[in-house]
Amino acid sequence: MLLCVVTAAAQRQPTRSAGDATAGKALFEGAGTCVTCHSIETSGQKRAPDLRWIGMLRAEESLRRAVATHRSTPALSAADIDHLVAYLRTL
């Protein structure tokens, strides 16, 4: 009985749609303007931290908050933020 209750509760949890890492990379390098300050290894600028390990260092929600509240990030849709987070998680 307890297993049924836990399973039913888990099924009702809202799930966030996963972003597309390829679209996230395109945003990072283009309209998202991330590379104007950040680098990933040797590509990009060095005015802000190198993000080559960020996907291993931060949890998904932490990355989402950082992207959504970054002062230099242009206005991004929720889908764009999901795409950027998906890309950063591959680093």
The pLDDT tens digits for 59-70 are 999 999 999 998
Cα 23 from Cα 17, distance rounded (Å)? 14
**Minimum mean pLDDT among 6-15, 37-46, 55-64: which range?**
6-15
Q: What is the pTM of this model?
A: 0.73
* Rounded-to-10 torsion of CA 42, 27, 72, 37: 10
Q: Give Cα 52 distance to the centre of its chain.
A: 13
Within 13 Å and on the Cβ side, how many CA atoms surround 38?
A: 20
CA–CA dist 81, 88 (Å, integer): 10
